Each structure stands twice: as C-alpha cells, then as structure tokens.
Amino acid sequence: MKIISNSALRAFAAQHQGAEGPLQGWRRVIERNRFSNWAELKAAFNTVDKVGELVVFDIGGNKYRLISYIRFEKQIVYIKAVLTHRDYDKGAWK
C-alpha cells in the first residue's frame, strides 16, 4: 500500500520523543503489504478500529493514535492525523 503522506509521521515524531520508531514500524508494515479489505487489515493490526469511514490505529503501545482513510481498491492510506492518546480522547479530530 502507498501512504499519503509520510511527512505527517515525521512531523509528529519530531514533536514527540519516542514516536519515530513505532510510527516508522507501522509505515513499513503498511508499505510492504497489500490489504484487500478490512478483515485482512484487522488480521495484521489487531488494535485497529473503524470510526465511521476512518481507520484508527493504536501505535506505540497505545501512546499514539494514527487516524487514516483507506482506499483498499487503490491501495492508498491517507493520513488524516497523528495524535497522542490524550489529544485523541478530546475528539477534535472527528
């Protein structure tokens, strides 16, 4: 799958010490695989959830949340936001 855009991951990691490794690990798994549907994605990422049309990944032992929109037919992951768990709970991203 292709990620749009990795710069969002890097920008978040620059602001949050310890986020770089888990975020880039997530990126590598996404880019090295092809997920045809939600079930295949869920099998690879047990802690992923759907919130409406958005897909929310728990990253770094639930320290961070990556909010995305996935087009399985085009194999593209659009990153909407990367947040700390605390900022995610505030709900402003919805």
**pLDDT (tens digit per residue) in 5-38:** 889 999 999 999 999 999 999 999 999 999 999 9
- Provide the whole-model pTM: 0.91
| Residue 38 · residue 50 · CB < 8 Å | yes
For residue 7, is the peptide bond before it cis, meaning its omega torsion is within 30 degrees of 0?
Answer: no
User: Going from the N-terminus, what domains does the chain have, and what CATH number goes with each?
Assistant: 2-90 (3.30.2310.20)
94 pLDDT more than 90: no
Judge residue 65's burial from the number of C-beta atoms within 10 Å of its C-beta, 0-12 exposed, 13-18 middle, 19 or more buried. Answer: buried
pLDDT in tens, 49-76: 999 999 999 999 989 999 999 999 999 9
Phi, psi of 20 (to 5 degrees): -55, -50
pLDDT in tens, 36-48: 999 999 999 999 9
| Residue 78 · residue 68 · CB < 8 Å | yes
